[in-house]
Structure formats: structure tokens, C-alpha cells
Amino acid sequence: MAGRGSTLKQRDRTDLSSTLSPPASPFETRMTAKIVPSVLPADLARLGADCAALDAAGVDRIQWDVMDGHFVPNLTFGPDVIAACRPHATCGFEAHLMCERPEHMLPAYIEAGCELIIVHPETLQQPHRTYAAIRELGVRTGVALSPATGLGLVEHALDLVDLLLIMTVDPGFGGQAYLPSMEPKIAAARSMIDDSGHDIELEVDGGIGPDTIAGAAAAGADVFVSGSALWRYANFVEGVADLRRRAEGAWIASPRPSSPAITKLT
């Protein structure tokens, strides 16, 4: 972490414009829609190759859906699998821990190469302490809210959060249908983040594909997790480009006053 701090100090010395301009709003840096594939639909026999292909297609990072068979029914990726795939991609990895007591798993998934750890507040005995612990381990903190979980479970801790994930399906299974009833919740989350003044990404996950991404984008999301839908394209390059184009098109069609990035996209 010392090297990272030195880099930041050097950047401060060489980029004087950052000290002469007012702080950017959360939207001023949102120049392109971030596409994050879930590798849950991947062929496990060629997981490393798929990670390499996704990276080459220009994804922003790769999501690992980690399920423990308790918080959700299925069992999926352990840290050893993620570590084995880490050399195959240069993009970031995020771990979505759909697990009971994820506090005990944090070091293993960070050591495996995940730069963003997403947890569900319902699974935490001490949410504030867990969010802070993730940052203290040198990575970013994400909080996921299931469809039935209200924004109130995270509103009190936004100063400790780098990403808010709104689930647009119930967690635990891939290939589910998108819940358009979550769009008002996405919009409310967008307003909550903007009002807080914190730089927090707003991610959506569940049923995100060519027919649904625009609705989530118009509601205020800026990061989009796509699983099964991305695998249905002829190739990842085509899929990533199409999903990004549709999301950015929705931003332009439904601009919000707090979104300078909308103007830049036009």
C-alpha cells in the first residue's frame, strides 16, 4: 500500500488542476457505462479462457458470485478458483459474497485477487465494523441489497461504502427475469447517493440484458452486471459494446439535472 500512497502524492504534485477545480460530483466522472460480467454462466472447464476473452472485450471488471449454500441455496466459487483465474485477466475482480458471516472470508478472497468485496447487510452482525474492515484490508467496500431489503440498511453507513448494488432479482440463481419493480428503488438509491455527496458507484445485478439495461440506466444505475444475457451474444466484444451503447443511450434519453456526464456523452 505504500507504493499506492506514493503514486497518489506524485499525482497531487503534478496535476495542479485538481486543486484549482471544485470537487467533482459523483456523475462528472461517469463518462461510459461500466459493464461487469458475472462468470456464473461460464463453462467451468474453460473459466480462465473466458476471463481472458472478457478482459479482451473491454469489460470494466469481472464479478464472482460466491454462494455458501446457506444465505442462498447454491454453492459456487471458492478463493482458489478465483486465484487460479487471476493471471488470465488484467481487469478488476469483484466478489459478491452471498454468504452467512462473510467477515471470516474477507482475507481469502482479497488474497485471491478481488479488489472489491460486496456483502449483504442482512448477513452481518456488525455492519459498520465489516465495511471498515474491508477498506482496512486495502480494497473497496460494496453493499448489496436484495429486492426485499430497504435502503435504510445502508443509508447510515454511506461514508464507508464505495459501491451500492441493487439486486434486480432475488439472489442465488442465474438466468432469472429482471424485476422492473426495482427501478423506483434504483432511482431512490441514486437520489440518496447524490444527496450524500459521497463518490459511490450504483450497480445493478439480475436479468440485465439488451431489453432491460436501458430501464436500469434511466433509473440511475451506472454499473451493470450481466450474466446469461452476455453469453447469448455471438461474442463478448459484440455483447459488451451493445450493452454499453444501450445504457448510455438511456442516459441521454433520460437526463437528470445532477448528471453532467449526460452532456458529455452527447
Quickly state the pLDDT bin for 256 (edges 50, 70, 90): low
Of 193, 245, 256, the residue nearest 219 (C-alpha): 256
Q: What is the DSSP letter of 125?
A: S
pLDDT digits (tens, 9 = 90+) for 148-157: 999 999 999 9
Residue 53 lies in a domain: yes
The four Cα atoms 174, 177, 183, 188 give a dihedral, to 10 degrees, of: -30
Number of domains in the chain: 1
Residue 110 lies in a domain: yes
Residue 137 lies in a domain: yes
Catalytic site residue from 50, 65, 68, 194: 65
Written as nine digits, the cell of 3 is: 507504493
Q: 203 with 36: CB under 8 angstroms?
A: yes
Domain enclosing residue 119, as ranges = 26-265
Catalytic site residue from 55, 162, 194, 205: 205
C-alpha span between 73 and 29 (Å, rounded)? 38
Number of Cβ within 10 Å of residue 221's Cβ equals 31
Flag whether pLDDT at 139 surpasses 70.
yes
The residue whose grid cell reads 456526464 is 261
Residue 119 lies in a domain: yes
Give the DSSP H or E segment for 98: strand 92-98
Q: 0.95 cut: is pTM over it?
A: no
Q: Is 65 marked active-site? A: yes
Instruction: Tell me the CATH number at 174.
Output: 3.20.20.70
